[in-house]
Amino acid sequence: MARSSDPTRFTIGEARAALAAKDISARELAQSHIDAVARARALNAFITETPDQALSRAAQSDARIASGDA
């Protein structure tokens, strides 16, 4: 089955494959989810949002991927 073009619809395996193939960065993946949470804010479904922490960790992941450590 083809991978969705919407990163928020990726399975874990699809996200891992996209990151490994460098089709998407961890930052892009995180930002997609941050944007989805923002669009769904009216649902009041999230207790705590930590977008800065998510982007920081994504940057760390991107650095590990770039150095070959991930």
| Residue spans per domain, the chain | 7-67
First to last CA, the chain: 25
pLDDT digits (tens, 9 = 90+) for 16-54: 999 999 999 999 999 999 999 999 999 999 999 999 999
**Model pTM score:** 0.89
3-state secondary structure of 8: helix
Q: Are 15 and 43 in contact (CB under 8 A)?
A: no
Say whether pLDDT at 64 is over 80. Answer: yes
